[in-house]
């Protein structure tokens, strides 16, 4: 009965949201994902379903699949939510689709032996339908952030029904385990964060530019402004300092470029010059961030200077020996930051001071690992 009510309400919500969905489908950011997810445009069922179906939200989770898929060495099916996650998933030996809105799941989902869902992608209809079709459902890298915990608790009655369809939960930490169990999850095992198993690599080799190189990586709206303000003051002290800005979302490249031009310094787009000679460089291309970290001295990691994003993966800049500066709102990446040492956590008005202090600090580093083979064995035991 609850399943029917939930499905009915999802249909009502879909109808109400239709005008907004149509409007958003013309936006650059959503022109592929919304038509695919909400109108099934170019998004058919899996033609020949494989045994294992992985579902991820976006780019970071899609990348986290690599060590698993390399060792599984079999073709799988993958669904994603975002266009960046979709593009990353297409690199694997897999059938890739966008996950449709829940109204379509009962008619779209195909039979699999195992559904593996990463992190906090809690889709009731997906779990219920796959369970009914005989699949085992596993949550991998499961987490409940500090910020989200109270919101989930208010809906504990709902999540208890959702977790009734989940066979195994592989949690990131003991705290996550306790929070998940409080919501009704059973068979919860702490395995750590699978992102620790990622092999961090460069795709290109760039010569290190002269001067002190500061990269502002995975920045969001509002963060470039505070970083730029701090950099302009810092450059008066450190004359040879250069700033490389790598926004998180490509649809913001133009607006960020306009902001950087207000600096009065020499500003260039990476796509036009392919070098780091200018005072400030906007990297208006995807897939370059690791290559940039590899030539940088200091990384100002975005996503944590705003209260609503939750931070980004610190393992990559730490791997390349950058001195990391980030904000204090990293609730979605708390476990990864716990493993990352020598990080400066600052408010927006403290970025300048952090830049000045960086010369006296060691590079950030990660000294934790995860037994990915154990994780794979647990997954395979349910396949």
Residue 353 CB contacts under 8 Å (≥ 6 apart), including other chains: 346
Q: Which of 61, 88, 223, 224 is catalytic?
A: 61
117's enclosing H/E stretch is strand 114-118
DSSP reduced 3-state for 11 = helix
Give the angle subtended at the CA of 303 by the CAs of 62 and 126, to the nearest 5°: 40
Total Cβ atoms within 10 A of residue 262 = 11
Tokens linked to 148: 């989200």
3-class SS at 370?
Answer: coil
Task: Please check whether residue 316 is in contact with residue 287, taking contact to mean a CB–CB distance below 8 angstroms.
Answer: no
The 3-state DSSP composition of the chain as helix, strand, coil percent (nearest 5) reads 45, 15, 40
Q: Which residue is associated with the tokens 């369970």?
A: 131
Specify whether the CB–CB gap between 203 and 68 falls below 8 A: no
Pairing state between β 242-247 and 323-326: unpaired
Tokens 């000679």, residue located = 277
Q: What is the dihedral of CA 328, 329, 335, 338, to 10 degrees?
A: 0
How far apart CA 337 and CA 314 sit, in angstroms, is 7
- In 223-269, alpha helices (H): 223-237, 253-261
β-pairing, 213-219 vs 267-269, is unpaired
CB 219 within 8 A of CB 245: yes
Residue 61 annotated to the active site: yes
Nearest to 315 by CA among 296, 297, 293: 293
Are 253 and 247 spatial neighbours (Cβ–Cβ below 8 Å)?
yes
Q: Are 176 and 368 in contact (CB under 8 A)?
A: no
Q: Provide the annotated active-site residues.
A: 61
């Amino acid at each position: 009965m609850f399943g029917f009510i939930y499905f009915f309400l999802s249909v009502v919500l879909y109808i109400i949201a239709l005008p907004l969905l149509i409007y958003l489908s013309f936006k650059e950011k959503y022109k592929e994902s919304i038509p695919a997810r909400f109108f099934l445009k170019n998004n058919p069922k899996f033609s020949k379903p494989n045994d294992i179906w992985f579902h991820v939200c976006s780019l970071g989770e899609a990348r986290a699949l690599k060590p698993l898929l390399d060792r599984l060495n079999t073709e799988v099916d993958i669904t994603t939510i975002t266009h960046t996650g979709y593009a990353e998933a297409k690199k694997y030996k897999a059938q890739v689709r966008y996950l449709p809105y829940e109204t379509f799941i009962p008619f779209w989902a195909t039979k699999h032996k195992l559904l593996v869902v990463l992190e906090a992608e809690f889709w009731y209809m997906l779990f219920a339908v796959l369970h009914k079709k005989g699949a085992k459902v596993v949550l991998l890298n499961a987490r409940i952030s500090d910020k989200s915990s109270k919101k989930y608790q208010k809906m504990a009655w709902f999540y208890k029904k959702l977790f009734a369809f989940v066979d195994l939960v592989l949690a990131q930490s003991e705290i996550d385990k306790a929070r998940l169990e409080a919501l009704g999850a059973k068979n919860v095992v702490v395995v750590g964060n699978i992102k620790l198993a990622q092999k961090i690599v460069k795709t290109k080799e760039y010569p290190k530019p002269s001067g002190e190189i500061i990269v502002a990586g995975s920045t969001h709206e509002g963060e470039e402004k505070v970083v730029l303000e701090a950099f302009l003051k810092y450059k008066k002290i450190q004359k040879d300092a250069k700033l490389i800005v790598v926004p998180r979302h490509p649809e913001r490249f133009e607006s960020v470029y306009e902001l950087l031009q207000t600096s009065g310094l020499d500003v260039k787009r990476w796509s036009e010059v392919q070098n780091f000679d200018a005072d400030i460089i906007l990297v208006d291309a995807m897939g370059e961030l690791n290559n940039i970290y590899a030539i940088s001295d200091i990384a100002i990691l975005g996503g944590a200077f705003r209260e609503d994003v939750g931070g980004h993966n610190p393992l990559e800049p730490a791997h390349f020996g950058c001195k990391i500066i980030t904000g204090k709102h990293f609730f979605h990446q708390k476990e990864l930051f716990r493993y990352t040492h020598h990080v400066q956590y600052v408010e927006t008005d403290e970025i300048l001071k952090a830049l000045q202090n960086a010369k006296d600090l060691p590079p950030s580093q990660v000294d934790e690992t995860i037994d990915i083979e154990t994780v794979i064995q647990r997954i395979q035991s349910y396949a």
